[in-house]
Amino acid sequence: MKTLTKLMLIAVFAIGGTSLLKAQDDAATKEFKVYGNCSMCESRIEKAVKSIDGVSLTDWDKETKMISVTFDAEKVELHNIHRAIAKVGHDTDTYKADDKVYKELPGCCQYDRPEAEKKAEKEAEEGHEGHKN
């Protein structure tokens, strides 16, 4: 009887361990840029990401503007994480937030948008080229 109990326990642990390993194999951690400024941005961004079924961890750093997201790759596609962030008003390098949603963010949360930065750089370069002639 003791041998049967031991074998059953070994089987339970083997099956449970296999399931745990499978879950770890499906987990993916990705990092990417998300534009924002403050702790209110951090809260909004992380809340949007955590609302996605299959996301287990998320952390946005307001200094580096980088987010780290750990999720079940069997349940979640990365573009859906980008889309959820854009939906609450924050641009990523993949998705741009709707202008109306961005403009509804509190003033402290209205970051310099990537497209505006590129446009300003281009205009500055064109201005410099005009002066060379």
pLDDT digits (tens, 9 = 90+) for 55-94: 999 999 999 999 999 999 999 999 999 999 999 999 999 9
- The mean-pLDDT minimum among 18-22, 32-36, 38-42 falls in 18-22
Supply the pTM of this predicted model: 0.70
pLDDT digits (tens, 9 = 90+) for 99-128: 999 999 999 999 999 865 555 445 556 665
- Euclidean distance between CA atoms 98 and 116, whole angstroms: 14
For position 34, what pLDDT does the model report? 98
Residue 42 vs residue 22, higher pLDDT: 42
- Among 95, 132, 91, 94, CA closest to 114: 91
- Euclidean distance between CA atoms 123 and 130, whole angstroms: 11
For position 114, what pLDDT does the model report? 81
Unique residue bearing structure tokens 């952390």: 59
User: Domains of the chain, with CATH numbers?
Assistant: 27-113 (3.30.70.100)
pLDDT at 22 over 80: no
